[in-house]
A and B are shown apart, each in its own frame.
Chain A
């Protein structure tokens, strides 16, 4: 494994930080310039991240050490396949979300737009930091920055509900942060290092009881952001946030950071060997499958579109964690790839919810009858991605679910195959009525039946993400060897066994 010292990961983090400063100092005086910074920085970030792909595909690792914090721990970036996968995903989705956000906040004439774009940029900076962290402490630092910078976005509307949503968000995530911190310090006293290693570094340290305890609190800690039940309560509440925030942060950056943390812990801190020895993998898989089933049932009962999507997110995140817990080549590949494919599909679904809201101010599913005739592009994108989430070929959700299903058979645990199938059925049950009623039912009220879409700045991004979901379903490697990065990561983790 070749290690290349490169400043690129640091640049990827810093570029948005600089962008955030430009945004806040430009302020309301020149909105177009401010939005230009957002777009410029998001594109720059994407280019920087993409420039690292060739190295990582060859199997090299890019490293950059900023400063030593304590003996054995540095503030350090290391770009491996898994981190890069997440980085590519988040930076790609930020570009579309930026464009969409501009359409959304201007369409609704939102208040405090500078604060909004500023925090958004900080969030993305933190997400990149999480993706490229070389060790648990660096990950934790950016994880906490992400938590804090998301708070103003969740409470953005500043209504009573929004403030309560913000409080709940902070209460859940910062408590989790404290728990994670404790576990990190404990691991540091056990091993003297915190560096991620494919296949884990805890093997041979500490008693089984201690390790089980650490695993439990780490998963519970990271599981809060990943929406694992019963720690998921903040996520539906946080749907009070503006839709682009829900889209990028609550379907991609924040919750995926939680999942990313969980997977780092499972695969790079504990590792397959240790989890098999302690028999923790199966417990975790059952724990996650509980969430898979229950969140599906919750989703069925929601009438608010964003809340339904939120529970669907919880459902999919749990599937990712379940896949990683099975620890077989296919299941890990599938679960990493599902981070990406779910990202593209879910962001489209949230974009659709936002576009409907901006155009018609409707938030509930029961009001959507016939809206497909007014907004065919939007609802078409919704239909594609909803089917994708349910696992219909040829949309990218199918590929990840296929690998996950294979993985459960490789692990010789058919139970999880059934969990996947049941969850796919529930996906159908809660998404297809929306598709049906929006296209085929006649509207109850005075819905405009003529083509009347949301602003193009909103429609284009959601159409793009829907198309990408479709393309990824047919050619998983279409963009920068997207699928290969995921499968390489899985290979490397299991190669350490």
Chain B
């Protein structure tokens, strides 16, 4: 775990929950922690790669767009193994302003299409208090 990252109380044993400043430099350590966590999640290797990349894209989106013109905020990364439904769920939450992607995103803006290509289930919930991206993958060994 990188120094300064906070593993929050209240997370169930085996779940992953980090709250970090929404800064690009913080995402690398978070991604590595998630990759490590996913190794024991029951996902196929292909889905683990997809989970790591999609989660990174969601966090990158928060870093690049959520707090534009505001004081830097935080983002929450949660990863949960949902045994009952046989799936792994990752949510990324920020508390900034949702920016509607421009019609022509130009050379940027590949993050959201990529997320949708990497997970069968992506839900993006913008609200006035921030944005939550929720993604899930089926557990292979159930």
The answer to whether A and B interact is: no
Chain A residues close to B by CB (< 8 Å): none
